[in-house]
Structures are given as structure tokens and as C-alpha cells.
Structure 1
């Protein structure tokens, strides 16, 4: 029996590139889900609910498909950070983040339309940030890279210079934990290698 089509319910180029890097050529369908509808205080609840809502919205358009929804936030000092609203906010966040350890949560929701089943999990990675100067922070924010990312940094870009080390899954910080995806596929009865193009 052939595998269902793999659909990524995300506009994130980083998530698409991660899938492509491991041989999964996903169809991209952006959910355009209004994230402000979900108000949760616990980061795990928040990212899992958002990932599930995004996947469910796209699943309505797909028949014989596996739909993956993801959402990431950074927690630091008890506060939850998504994408910054402005350069000024990104600068202020980095001034709090430098020399600190943040926790990056990525919710993953995988909906299997063929079997009418779903698996929802959360990847957690501890991120040790470097001690940046104000000049470095302003220069980084000026690149606009941090404005597009949960937690104000892209580890696969210039932001990688400002992360001292990670505890946990590296790809989780990019927005999609590949080991977790493999496990979720297995839970639904699929071998990840069968999705290689």
C-alpha cells in the first residue's frame, strides 16, 4: 500500500528545508490559523494546541494525507516569547536573553486522514545564550532575522553565532524535531524511510 501524501501546515521555510534535508518532499499548505485565539499559560499546552489547530485547519482541505502542524515558543524567566512585534521589542528581548538559558518548546501535531488518527507531542531544548554587547544585539536585529523567529533568533542563521550550546534536539530549535517526527510516524505505523523521494 502506498503512503499518504505528506503535508506541512506551515509557511516556515526553515521547516520545509529540514524536511527536504532528510528526503521528505512535503506539500506546503499554510493554515493561516489565528494564533491569538489560543490563550494558555503553560508553554507545552500552548505549542501543542497551536500545532494541533494549524494541522486540523489544513486537514479539512486534504483527503488521503498526513498533515504536520508545528509551533514554537521560547520560555525565559517564566515568560513565553513568540515572534517579536518590532525591532525595539527584539532588542529588549535580547537584552534579557543574553547570558541566560532559555527553553525552546516546539509542538508537533501529526494528523493521519487515512486512519483518522493523530499524534501530538512537544520537543524541548535548553538554549544557552552568549553574552552579547548592545552593539551586537542592535546589529543582529538590524538584519531582520530575529523578527521572523520564535525566541528572536535563528540558530541556522546568524543567530547561531550567539548560542553557546544546546541541551536536547538541535532541529527542534529550528522548528521541527526530526527524531520526534520519526517517532510520531512510527506510532502511526509508518517508516520514515518510505517518505523519501
Structure 2
């Protein structure tokens, strides 16, 4: 049984490796805007779950041709936070200017990091079981100085991640706390993924690599 991650995210890969799984990476290349446009006024949780599903489904044919048995995990994250016209769902900031505006609103406040996951179990050349769900984690933001914020945005990191911040990178300096699952803020929720794997009949411990098992037993 192979664990296939339908994402190129280094952060997601790092979380999985630290948790004993060496993922096979197959990037979905999904047109996220097209997925959004195909939905009619989706709730934020519906949107992130639909995007996660689209990413997982996009690689099914390739994975089914490569492996006799596999589980595909698709993930998507967005930040539900205060915008200029009330609360809004935001993904990656498109420009440094938008990242700066977003941080000016987030600083000293909170946001809900919404994470959608889909797990597809592949066998006999196609999908034999599936599970999808989402969760929300509250992120409490600090108040970086203007110099700190300018330096952070200049690194380019905020433009590469949902919400314009990281927990496990440079952005971690400006996050004062998390209420909920920290791994979901990094990009892939270990507890939710474990639950969805169980829903499709796969125990997470069966996917742990040998090196991780030896480390746990030493």
C-alpha cells in the first residue's frame, strides 16, 4: 500500500516524514479557480473540501496505473479572517502588497485556518473507497513591527502559503498561539488524515516506514 500525496508542498511532506510516512508525491495541477467557479455560493468548509477532492481525483488515473494498491490524499487550506468588508476566506496572497494589507488586518487578532482533506483508496485500477472532511483551527497572530513585516514579506514566504503565514517557517515568529490541531495549520492534519484512512479501511500504522518503527522501539 503506497501513500500518495497529491501536493508538492514541502511542509506537508515534512509533516508526513516526521510522522513516519514517506509519501509518493504526485502533483495534481488542478485549476483551483475553475473548481471555485463550478460551485454555487459554497460555504468556506465546502470550498476547501471540494478543492481537496479535486486534487486527489486528478491523480487517480496516474496512481492506479503505477501501483496495485494506494491511498491518495488531497489537501487544501484557506484562512477565514477579517477583511475590508467583513470576514472572508483567503488563500495565497497574489502580491507583496496584498500580503502587507492582509497582515495589517490580522495583526493582534485571530483567524480560522480551514483545512479540507480527501482520501481515496485505489485498487483494481480505480477508486474503491473514499472519505472527505474538514476541520478548523484558530490561529492567534502577534503584532510584528513594520520593519519585521517588511522583512518577512521580502522573503517571499507569505506569497507561497495559504493565509500569508506559516507556523513552521519564518511566519512562526509572528504567531502567538494555536487553538486546535497544529499540523493542520502546517498543511496536513495528522488526526484528520488518520480518521479518513480508517474510513477507507487503512490503519495508519500499516503505512509507517521501517525507520520510523525502529526509532519508536529504540
Q: Which residue does the alignment assign to 1:68?
A: 73
Q: Is the 8 A contact 1:182 1:192 kept in 2?
A: yes
Cα deviation, residue 133, structure 1? 2.3
How many residues align? The count is: 194
2:104 matches 1:95: yes
Q: Is the 8 A contact 1:51 1:69 kept in 2?
A: yes
User: What 5-or-longer segments of structure 2 have no aligned partner?
Assistant: 210-218
Structure 1 CA distance for aligned equivalents of residues 182 and 14 of structure 2: 14
- Relative to the length of structure 2, the TM-score reads 0.86
Q: Is the 8 A contact 1:95 1:134 kept in 2?
A: no
After the TM superposition, which segments of 4 or more aligned residues of structure 1 sit over 6 Å from their partners?
A: none
Q: Is the 8 A contact 1:11 1:28 kept in 2?
A: yes
2:96 matches 1:84: no
> Which SS does the other structure have where 2:147 is aligned?
helix
Query: Once superposed, what is the RMSD of the aligned Cα atoms?
Result: 1.1
- Relative to the length of structure 1, the TM-score reads 0.95
User: What 5-or-longer segments of structure 1 have no aligned partner?
Assistant: none
Q: Which residue does the alignment assign to 2:189?
A: 177
Aligned positions of 1:14-163 closer than 5 A = 14-39=11-36, 40-63=41-64, 64-77=69-82, 78-114=87-123, 116-163=128-175
Cα deviation, residue 132, structure 1? 2.1
Q: Is the 8 A contact 1:15 1:175 kept in 2?
A: yes
Deviations 1:26-66 (A, max 9, x none): 11000000000122542101100000000000112122221
Structure 2 CA distance for aligned equivalents of residues 41 and 88 of structure 1: 27
